């Protein structure tokens, strides 16, 4: 059994208005991850990812690329141990 990872990822660049959240949620569901993704008012996209360590790492690698119309310039990762993942993976409202 692999270790469970929980991280919060903040993505900067051209990541709003380009389908980033929907693509992120789709990819996370394919990887069997739990958590959420949302836009932030500062122009970033933020996601909470929980699942097998290898799947979380794969998702983080994908997040550097995102959908074709996105242009990621920075990706910050912090541990997300303070939050328990809910069921599934959802798109949340902007904060």
pLDDT of 1? 56
Distance CA 10, CA 38 (A): 10
- The boundaries of the domain holding residue 51 are 4-81
Q: Within a domain: residue 70?
A: yes
29 inside domain: yes
CB atoms within 10 A of CB 66: 23
Q: Which of 21, 27, 34, 55 is catalytic?
A: 21
Q: Is residue 54 domain-resident?
A: yes
> Which stretch of DSSP H or E encloses residue 69?
none
The CATH number assigned to the domain holding 8 equals 3.30.70.100
What is the predicted pLDDT for the residue at 82? 77
pTM of the shown model:
0.93
| 38 in a structural domain | yes
Domain count across the chain: 1
Q: Does any domain span residue 94? A: no
DSSP β-bridge partners for residue 78? 8
Position 95 in a domain? no
27 catalytic? Reply is no
The Cα–Cα gap between 92 and 52 comes to: 22
**21: annotated active-site residue:** yes
- Tell me how far apart the alpha carbons of residues 93 and 48 are, in angstroms, rounded to a whole number: 14
Q: What is the pLDDT of residues 49-93, one digit of tens each?
A: 999 999 999 999 999 999 999 999 999 999 977 777 788 999 999
The whole-number pLDDT of residue 80 equals: 79
Is 88 domain-assigned?
A: no
Which one of 6, 27, 34, 39 is the catalytic residue?
Answer: 39
Q: What is the DSSP letter of 3?
A: P
């Amino acid at each position: 059994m692999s270790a469970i990872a929980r991280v919060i990822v903040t993505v900067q660049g051209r990541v709003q208005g380009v389908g980033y959240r929907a693509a992120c949620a789709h990819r996370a569901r394919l990887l069997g991850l739990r958590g959420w993704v949302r836009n932030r008012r500062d122009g970033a996209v933020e996601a909470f990812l929980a699942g097998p360590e290898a799947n979380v790492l794969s998702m983080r690698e994908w997040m550097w690329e995102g959908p074709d119309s996105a242009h990621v310039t920075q990706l910050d990762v912090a541990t997300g141990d303070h939050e328990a993942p809910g069921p599934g993976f959802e798109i949340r409202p902007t904060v």
